[in-house]
Amino acid sequence: MQIDYAKEVATMKEVGYYDKNITNGVVVMVEPYSQQKQIQQVVHRILDANLDRAREGLRIIEEWCRFGLNNAEMAGECKHLRQEVAIWHTAELRAARDTAGDPGTELSHPQEEQRSSIKALLQANFCRIQEAFRVVEEYGKLYHPNMGKAFKQMRYQVYTLESDLMGYQRHQLLWRSRLYLVTSPSADLLSIVEAALKGGLTLVQYRSKDADDSVRLEEATKLQQLCHAYGALLIINDRVDLAMAVDADGVHLGQQDMPIAIARQLLGPQRLIGRSTTNSEEMQKAIAEGADYIGVGPVYETPTKAGKAAAGLEYVRYAVKNSSVPWFAIGGIDVNNINDVIDAGAERVAVVRSLMQAEQPTLVTQYLLSQLNRVQPDNPSMF
């Protein structure tokens, strides 16, 4: 029997099963129906693998919401999503599974072998879920007319959940933080900050008023990586753009900086915004505008705020009674006067020179925290 290759090519082109780039022009004699079944089987395997991946990732997030945060609402949202995914994970799709023949089971990456913190673990699994949902959204269009639309909506729900959860974690760690290091320019910036982190510090503000933007970007990036590794928060002084560029946890604004509302629009609801205040009027305004925390000071005169009169301990006492958000007494506080500030009612303090100029930042951090923790026992950060 003689085969009319030109006719076969024309027929295969018509039904969509001929690609010169793949076959090099050679006609492959495969029945369209048979090839369609093979493609269907591949799609089923892809959907099964990614539905499994999404369910596993959701369970990991759910367990942290339940046991780590004791947050029934977020845990319930994860469970609801997981059950919705399970509805689509049919016996037909699971029957297509071929674990032994899957080359992907041997693939791995060093970053998957360990997690530096709970934050890193959660972010990795959110990425895992979102990627899996995107795959299901596309391939699902070949399986069921409503599958793509359903998983598109679920993917957006996961984005919202991630934003809410990571924002919740930041706020929880902010409330637990007793000591706040505000950096000053130093050739040993990273080593000083790391020494303080080793002493238990969980909140750092990068402050560099006069450096070039290229230097700021480099230093802020390295600080973000360092704080991330220790499970600490990094706040950027003044610069919302820099905070966004390095994926920092928030920004600290002075009285002359942009309005909190504008910063919130740029940063979104999940990141932290702090505001410096020097009197009761500034405090109440900052709280009303939505500051997540405030600085209260300067308690003592300090070269960091040259020419600015000290607000004194009276302002600290006012904050004790009137601040509804976390606040940090700041300005000239050191190992010699911290107990006076604590006696005035402060539970949190921010320092600059006390740590940046300390010979042993780790020990000074531990001492300051020990004094603050005797006022209110510290609940160690789980993040």
In this predicted structure, the answer to whether residue 380 has a pLDDT above a threshold of 50 is no
Residue 49: Cβ-neighbour burial (10 angstroms; 0-12, 13-18, 19+):
buried
User: Can you give the pLDDT at residue 11?
Assistant: 56
Task: Assign residue 349 a region (left: φ > 0; alpha: ψ between -120 and 50; beta: otherwise).
Answer: beta
In this predicted structure, the answer to whether residue 378 has a pLDDT above a threshold of 50 is no
Q: Which residues contact 243 (CB under 8 A, 6 or more apart)?
A: 235, 236, 250, 251, 267, 271
In this predicted structure, the answer to whether residue 19 has a pLDDT above a threshold of 60 is no
The average pLDDT across 198-205 equals: 98
What are the tokens at 350? 């921010």
By C-alpha distance, which of 336, 316, 303, 118 is closest to 228? 118
The average pLDDT across 75-88 equals: 97
Residues 257, 260: Cα–Cα separation, whole Å: 9
Is residue 176 part of the annotated active site? The answer reads no
Higher-confidence position of 228 and 82: 82
Please give the share of the chain, as a percent, with pLDDT higher than 70: 85
By C-alpha distance, which of 234, 202, 224, 250 is closest to 379? 202
- pLDDT tens, position by position, 138-169: 999 999 999 999 999 999 999 999 989 988 98
Residues 373, 101: Cα–Cα separation, whole Å: 56
Query: Which of 177, 208, 276, 354 is an active site residue?
Result: 276
What are the tokens at 22? 């793949």
Position 118 confidence tier, pLDDT thresholds 50, 70, 90: confident
User: Can you give the pLDDT at residue 379?
Assistant: 45
Position 205 confidence tier, pLDDT thresholds 50, 70, 90: very high
User: Can you give the pLDDT at residue 278?
Assistant: 96
Query: Which of 155, 305, 354, 381 is an active site residue?
Result: 305
In this predicted structure, the answer to whether residue 78 has a pLDDT above a threshold of 80 is yes
Residue 150 CA to chain centroid, in angstroms? 26
Mean pLDDT of the chain: 89
Residues 21, 227: Cα–Cα separation, whole Å: 50
Query: Which of 207, 216, 264, 271 is an active site residue?
Result: 207
Higher-confidence position of 120 and 174: 174
User: Can you give the pLDDT at residue 21?
Assistant: 52
- pLDDT tens, position by position, 32-76: 667 888 999 999 999 999 999 999 999 999 999 999 989 999 999
What are the tokens at 111? 């970053």
Is residue 305 part of the annotated active site? The answer reads yes
- pLDDT tens, position by position, 252-271: 999 999 999 999 999 998 89
In this predicted structure, the answer to whether residue 381 has a pLDDT above a threshold of 50 is no
Higher-confidence position of 99 and 66: 66
The average pLDDT across 304-314 equals: 81
Is residue 163 part of the annotated active site? The answer reads no
CB atoms within 10 A of CB 338: 20
